[in-house]
Amino acid sequence: MINPTDAWHIQTLDSPKVLNPYTLQVHHAAQLVAMVGQGLLPTEDDDSQSNMEWVDRRGALLGKDIPLSRTIRMGLLYHPFELHIFDHNMDSLDNLNLEGRTKQLAINWIKDHVTVLDGEADKVKPFEHFEIPAHPLDEGAVFELPNPIYHLEMAKYRSNADLILKEIKRKFEHASEVRIWPHHFDTAINIPLAFDEKGKATHAIGIGLAVADEQVDEYYYYVNHWANSEKKEKNNLPELKGGGIWTKGKNKMAVLPASKLLTHTEAAEQYQQAQDFLESGINASLILIEKEDASI
């Protein structure tokens, strides 16, 4: 088994905030993958038909298997910045370089392939039940690749998050698969901790890597928690390791801005800091929802 620290990609970009506009463009590109699952797969209670996984060896976001006249998977490579249609062996059947192309052209390209494979192309369309932050692409602008270094760095963030979350997943029996969600564009797992008599979760924590938002203005790791019963708000929050901090407001969330990892220049050190934060955030959240027996 590979040592996780050997698989960690050293993050080197001085200021992760410079990635924000490029991340937004990739977020829009990822909708092209997610909308195929959304349109052509049965709707799940948690909307998971549209989520994606990260494949490190490809540097790509991959959608779910789509059973047409042959099984395909949509993929988005970060660099080169391309859409791919893969077969069940992960061989590319065709690809579209997104640079200089509009979203509508890319959608038409996908629909053409779905039609050839005897699928219902009209069901492949932009999401209607949520919106993502606006981008000039919405008004007909073309995708750009001004600096490949930024796309390569964003791929490192995805690979590292996928790596460390899979390590944590192994420690919890009911943890979900590690997935990227098209709405918030976070790499995340959900961990139910207790259930009612109908099998519905009553306590849970969520862990992931989020993109810049109103909480933190750069990529950040997070641990949040939830319980269906009201708990008295705690004034003394448990200490977080690895440079983690608690967000302000009523719904406390443990966060670690990606820039804090840059105090280290070795893969093992960055991995350890992220791991220290996530484990302390999990244990702290378990205390807050009174499920300390599940601590790791």
Round the average pLDDT of the chain to a whole number and report it: 94
pTM for this structure?
A: 0.95
User: Is the previous residue joined to 21 through a cis bond, with omega within 30 degrees of 0?
Assistant: no
Pairing of strands 201-210, 187-195: antiparallel
H-helix segments, 65-198: 103-116, 148-169
Residue 244 tokens, joined? 């983690």
Residue 235 confidence (pLDDT): 67
96: β partners = 83
Query: Of 199, 249, 194, 198, nearest to 226 (Cα)?
Result: 194
For residues 156 and 56, what is the distance between their CA atoms, to the nearest angstrom? 9
Residues 240-265 pLDDT 10s: 999 999 998 777 899 999 999 999 99
Largest CA distance in the chain: 60
Residue 45 pLDDT level (bands cut at 50, 70, 90) = confident
Residues 176-186 pLDDT 10s: 999 999 999 99
242 DSSP 8-state letter: T
Segment 276-285 mean pLDDT? 96
Q: How many CB atoms lie within 10 A of CB 55?
A: 18
